[in-house]
Amino acid sequence: MAISLRNLSVNYSLQQGTAHALRGVSLDIEKGQMHGLVGESGSGKSTVAFALMGLLANNANVTSGTATIEGKSFDLTKRNATADLRGRGMAMIFQDPMLSLNPVFTIGTQLCEVLRRRTPGSDRKTQGAMAEDALAKVRLSNPGRRMNQYPHELSGGMRQRVVIAMALLSEPALLIADEPTTALDVTVEAQIMREIIGLRDRIGCAVLLITHSLGLVTEYCDAISVLYAGEKLESGTVRQVQRQPGHPYTRMLFDCEVPIDRERHADASQNRFTVIAGDLPDPRRRPPGCIFNARCDVSFEDCAVVSPGDYPVRNDDSHSARCLRLATP
Amino acid sequence: MTDAISISNAELRFGETAALDGVSLTIPQGTCFGIVGESGSGKTTLMRAVLGLQKLDQGEICVLGNPLVPGRAALKQRASFIQPIFQDPAASLSPRSRISTMMNEVGTVLREPHAALFERLGVILNRLGLPQSVIEKYPHEISGGQARRVAIARALLMKPSILIADEPTAGLDVSVQGDLLNLLQDIRQSDNITLVIISHNLAIVRLIAENAVVMRSGKVVEGGEVGSLFKSPREAYTCELLAAWPSVTRAPALNR
């Protein structure tokens, strides 16, 4: 087991009260696997990543949670618990590559900085060669020239490749990719996902892919966890979850995806799109019972009062969901 | 019937790059027209040109049969029948003024009394599923999905007959995205609006539009009726776009 996250809870103190962004979230990511974390905006996906990296905002408070990375245990409630891992054990790819690159330094300088932390003592020439090699590995055209260019001279896809090259150089045990392709085109998206997979296979790290696109998860991930309003509702292998979603929310999410080959009404104005009615619950006041109760289409009386546990789906240990319908009486 | 928008041989260069390279297309009234292509293909530039925000080097654009006339007065006049919804809703709302202030501007342009305007606005907000209290808020106080709906509300308040939406669903969750698209479909049916959707989401354009064009580096590489365009694309580039689309190929459900 490469990475495990246990019982992570994060609160944000706001002017209007305390928002519970995450409540007891646990994840297991196998080495060499890509784990998709999906959920709507506001579900706490990025908070998971930030809590792991120790990048939470000042008003955030981790109330519980431990991470085990490569056999070492980290108490996430402590400030900067994973500071030692940043740049060595963990790397992160952000949504906006422009924001993760410093605009006033060249690509080469920024890549070499990673190496100064990773391999202290090596001379600048080898570092430069390694950096250039990394750029070639992520198939950035003309790596030699790129080393001396500034981030603004590159396109979005090229910048994201540079960030992936950076991750490649730091050889992390865990790579967190937070919406890595949201800002990019579909054609570039496919290329970038291929590079991330190439990186994973090259250094055998675990990848946590944070996204709201189920398409990406089903196409590239091995396992999936579904987050809703700060709680993990379902997890399992992509195959299992896709075949038989254990939680109504997961099923509704899948139904919302628009497949490219969906049946099309001859009169285009008659085509309708699936939605999940309702809004996320107030993060400051969690309703009793199941968190998804208000928007669920198959809820029954108990759902409003009984908080569901994590039940196995179809007696499969690796696939579980928090839905009372799965509880065997 | 005159076409809602007709563009003939539009050309525009930014320095070395050709943003629009001989684009010709016609959009019939009352239909939905999709413009797809990757970033940098000239989709947004084309939209800006149609709105009269970007002068062309060559070519002609007619909106409802009338050629575009430069100048502020003409721009103001055009605003009453053609309205944009920009890609980044937050950027199209002024951070320093409340939503109500922005809506007031519409009243100034239309010379409509305040009470009548806000009565209409109330109806529109209701339809978009926005709370009435939203008009008292500043843009930073509302969510991305709400900001986008506010931008649509402002566009609809102008009572346009053509609505151009640039990436209307970018950055929205799947659950909210459907809501917005259904809303656009409703508006189309009830107000008989011509809708132009600029998007790189092929699956959505395929379902919502009657006709579409595929753009690449300033050129229209392929176009036509959506059904046949997506079923049997002729151009290699269209195939590439379609193939890159990540699909949720659902395995047959066992007992649902």
Write down the mean pLDDT value for chain A.
Answer: 90
Arithmetic mean of pLDDT, B12-22? 88
Answer yes or no: do B251 and A269 touch at CB < 8 A: no
Q: Is the per-residue pLDDT at B253 higher than 50?
A: no
> Could you tell me whether strands A72-75 and A60-69 are parallel, antiparallel, or unpaired per DSSP bridges?
antiparallel
Closest in B38, B182, B248 to A218, CB measured: B248
Answer yes or no: do A253 and B175 touch at CB < 8 A: yes
Collapse the DSSP code of B190 into the 3-class scheme (helix H, G, I; strand E, B; otherwise coil) and give the result.
helix
Question: With a CB-CB cutoff of 8 Å, which residues 108-127 of chain B face chain A?
Answer: none
CB B238 within 8 A of CB B221: yes
**pLDDT given at position B249:** 59
Arithmetic mean of pLDDT, A32-50? 91
Determine contact: A224 vs chain B, CB below 8 A: no
What is the spatial order of strands in the sheet that A3-14 belongs to?
A17-29, A3-14, A60-69, A72-75
**pLDDT given at position A132:** 94
- Domains in chain B, CATH or no CATH each: 1-81+161-245 (3.40.50.300), 92-159 (no CATH)
For residue A242, how many other CB atoms are within 10 A of its CB?
A: 20
Contacts of B179 in chain A (CB under 8 A): 273, 275
Task: Identify from B39, B174, B249 which residue to disrupt to test chain A contact, counting A C-beta atoms within 10 A and taking the largest count.
Answer: B174
Cross-strand bridge partners of residue A226: A38, A234
Answer yes or no: do A275 and B143 touch at CB < 8 A: no
Contacts of B210 in chain A (CB under 8 A): 268
Question: With a CB-CB cutoff of 8 Å, which residues 247-286 of chain A face chain B?
Answer: 251-254, 256-262, 264, 266, 268-269, 271-276
Closest in A182, A214, A251 to B171, CB measured: A182
Arithmetic mean of pLDDT, A141-168? 90
For residue B112, how many other CB atoms are within 10 A of its CB?
A: 15
Name the residue among B201, B209, B203 with its Cα closest to residue B184: B209
- Please indicate whether residue B54 or residue B245 has the higher confidence score (pLDDT): B54
In this structure, of A60-64, A88-92, A245-249, A275-279, the range with the lowest mean pLDDT score is A275-279
Q: What is the CA radius of gyration of chain B?
A: 19
Residue A252 to residue A249: CA distance in whole angstroms: 5
Q: Is the per-residue pLDDT at A1 higher than 70?
A: no
Contacts of A282 in chain B (CB under 8 A): none
Contacts of A253 in chain B (CB under 8 A): 174-175
Contacts of B174 in chain A (CB under 8 A): 40, 212-214, 253, 256-257
Contacts of B178 in chain A (CB under 8 A): 256, 273-275
Residue A45 to residue A61: CA distance in whole angstroms: 16
Closest in B208, B240, B248 to A268, CB measured: B208
Residue B37: left (phi > 0), alpha (psi -120 to 50), or beta?
A: left
pLDDT band (50, 70, 90) for residue B252: very low
CB A245 within 8 A of CB A218: no
Cross-strand bridge partners of residue B211: B33, B225
Determine contact: B254 vs chain A, CB below 8 A: yes
CB B201 within 8 A of CB A281: no
Q: What is the CA radius of gyration of chain A?
A: 21
Answer yes or no: do A239 and B200 touch at CB < 8 A: no
* Cβ contacts of B82 within 8 Å, gap of 6 or more: B50, B51, B63, B160, B161, B162, B163, B164
Determine contact: A72 vs chain B, CB below 8 A: no
- What SS3 string covers chain A? CCEEEEEEEEEEEECCEEEEEEEEEEEEECCCCEEEEECCCCCCHHHHHHHHHCCCCCCEEEEEEEEEECCEEEECCCCCCCHHHECCCEEEECCCHHHHCCCCCCHHHHHHHHHHHHCCCCCHHHHHHHHHHHHHHCCCCCHHHHCCCCHHHCCHHHHHHHHHHHHHHHCCCEEEEECCCCCCCHHHHHHHHHHHHHHHHHHCCEEEEEECCHHHHHHHCCEEEEEECCEEEEEEEHHHHHHCCCCHHHHHHHHHCCCCCCCCCCCHHHCCCCCCCCCCCCCCCCCCCCCCHHHCCCCCHHHHCCCCCCEEECCEEEEEECCHHHCCC
Select, from the ranges A26-30, B37-41, B87-91, B241-245, the one with the highest average predicted confidence (pLDDT).
Answer: A26-30
Answer yes or no: do A254 and B250 touch at CB < 8 A: yes
Answer yes or no: do B241 and A218 touch at CB < 8 A: no
Arithmetic mean of pLDDT, A79-101? 86
Structure tokens at B136: 């008292």
For residue B217, how many other CB atoms are within 10 A of its CB?
A: 16
Structure letter (DSSP) for residue B5? E
CA distance A262 to chain B (A): 8
Arithmetic mean of pLDDT, A98-105? 89
Structure tokens at A290: 């199941």
**pLDDT given at position A208:** 96
Arithmetic mean of pLDDT, A11-40? 92
pLDDT band (50, 70, 90) for residue A41: confident
pLDDT, tens only, B136-178: 999 888 877 788 889 989 998 998 999 999 988 877 778 778 8
- Please indicate whether residue A100 or residue A20 has the higher confidence score (pLDDT): A20
pLDDT, tens only, B59-108: 999 999 889 888 888 888 888 889 999 888 777 888 899 999 999 988 88
Task: Identify from B41, B44, B173 which residue to disrupt to test chain A contact, counting A C-beta atoms within 10 A and taking the largest count.
Answer: B173
Residue of B nearest to A191 (CA): B244
In this structure, of A163-167, A257-261, A289-293, A302-306, the range with the lowest mean pLDDT score is A257-261
Residue A83 to residue A65: CA distance in whole angstroms: 16
Residue B115 to residue B121: CA distance in whole angstroms: 10
**pLDDT given at position B232:** 85
pLDDT, tens only, A175-231: 999 988 877 777 788 888 999 999 999 889 999 999 988 888 999 999 999 999 999
**pLDDT given at position A103:** 93
Name the residue among A205, A173, A194, A175 with its Cα closest to residue A32: A205
pLDDT, tens only, A279-294: 888 888 899 999 999 9
Contacts of A256 in chain B (CB under 8 A): 174-175, 177-178
Name the residue among A190, A197, A169, A222 with its Cα closest to residue A36: A222
pLDDT, tens only, B171-212: 777 877 888 888 888 888 888 899 999 988 888 899 999 999
Question: With a CB-CB cutoff of 8 Å, which residues 31-60 of chain B face chain A?
Answer: 31-32, 38-40
Residue A222: left (phi > 0), alpha (psi -120 to 50), or beta?
A: alpha
Q: Is the per-residue pLDDT at B254 higher than 50?
A: no
pLDDT band (50, 70, 90) for residue B251: very low
Arithmetic mean of pLDDT, A19-45? 92
Closest in B177, B185, B203 to A260, CB measured: B203
**Distance from the Cα of residue B129 to its chain's centroid:** 20
The residue behind tokens 């999940």 is: A276
Answer yes or no: do A264 and B206 touch at CB < 8 A: yes
Calculate what percentage of chain A has a pLDDT beyond 90.
Answer: 57
Write down the mean pLDDT value for chain B.
Answer: 86
Answer yes or no: do B38 and A187 touch at CB < 8 A: yes
pLDDT band (50, 70, 90) for residue B255: very low
**pLDDT given at position B180:** 84
Answer yes or no: do A40 and B173 touch at CB < 8 A: yes
How far is the first Cα of chain B from the last one, in angstroms, to the nearest whole number? 49
Phi, psi for A72 (deg, rounded to 5) = -100, 140
Closest in B185, B230, B248 to A214, CB measured: B248
Closest in B242, B244, B251 to A243, CB measured: B251
**pLDDT given at position A209:** 96
Q: Taking CA B139 as the corner, what is the angle to CA B134 and CA B145, rounded to the nearest 5 degrees? A: 75
**Type of residue at B186:** D
Determine contact: B232 vs chain A, CB below 8 A: no
Please give the ipTM for the structure prediction: 0.77
**pLDDT given at position B49:** 92
